[in-house]
């Protein structure tokens, strides 16, 4: 679930006000769950093993921080991901899985083909 401003149409995740117009009239919408990894890193502090932390740009236009499941070496910027039904039990962040089909567009492009 994410928020969309009724005034300017901007989508956001877990905000009290619209990040563009500062409007408070936000409606809840359901995301399709598809996104592209915009930044991925491996964190090794405060955890028994290495873990992935990624910024995922969702098809609806908002960005969310979460974890991508799978081998750490296989997670790259520009990869397509799908939201899973599970959540990170410790940090309560969304968990994504890599999509099986390769991303066919430019590695740093828009979602024009997704809509």
Q: Does 108 map to a domain?
A: no
Q: What is the pLDDT of residue 44?
A: 80
Question: Which residue range(s) make up the domain with 17?
Answer: 1-30
Q: Is residue 91 part of a domain?
A: yes
Local confidence band at 70 (pLDDT 50, 70, 90 cut-offs):
confident
CA distance 89 to 81: 20
Count CA within 13 A, CB hemisphere, residue 25. 4
**pLDDT score recorded for residue 88:** 67
The CATH number covering residue 42 comes to 2.40.50
Mean pLDDT of 89-107: 69
User: Is residue 66 situated within a structural domain?
Assistant: yes
* 19 and 59 assigned to the same domain: no
The model's pTM is 0.75
């Amino acid at each position: 679930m994410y928020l969309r401003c009724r005034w300017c149409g901007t989508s956001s995740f877990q905000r009290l006000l619209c990040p563009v117009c500062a409007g408070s009239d936000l409606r809840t919408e359901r995301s399709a769950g598809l996104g592209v990894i915009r930044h991925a890193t491996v964190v090794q502090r405060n955890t028994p093993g290495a873990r992935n932390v990624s910024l995922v740009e969702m098809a609806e236009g908002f960005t969310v921080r979460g974890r991508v499941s799978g081998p750490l070496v296989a997670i790259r910027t520009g990869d397509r991901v799908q939201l899973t039904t599970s959540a990170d039990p410790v940090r309560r962040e969304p968990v994504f899985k890599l999509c099986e089909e390769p991303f066919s567009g430019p590695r740093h492009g828009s979602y024009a083909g997704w809509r």
